[in-house]
Structure 1
Amino acid sequence: MNKSIVIGSTLSVLGLGGLAVGAYQVSNYSQAPEPVYADILQVDAATRTVETPRQVCEDVVVSQQAPSRDPNRIIGTAAGAIVGGLLGNQVGGGSGKKIATVAGAVGGGLAGREVQGRIESGQTSTTTRQECHTVTDTRQEHLGYDVEYRLDGQVFSARLDEAPQGDRVLMQDGKPQWHVGQSSAGSDSQG
Structure 2
Amino acid sequence: MKRLVAVVALSAVTVLGGCAQQGLYGTSYSRSQVGHAQTVQYGTVESVTPVRIEGRTDGIVGSGTGAVVGGIAGNQVGGGSGRTLATVVGAVAGGLIGQRVEQAATERQGQEITIRLDNGQVMSVVQEVENGQFFRPGDRIRVLGQGRSLKVTY
- TM-score category of the 2 structures, normalised to the smaller one: 0.3 to 0.5
TM-score, normalised to structure 2, is 0.38
TM-score (norm 1): 0.32
Higher strand share: 1
Larger radius of gyration: 1
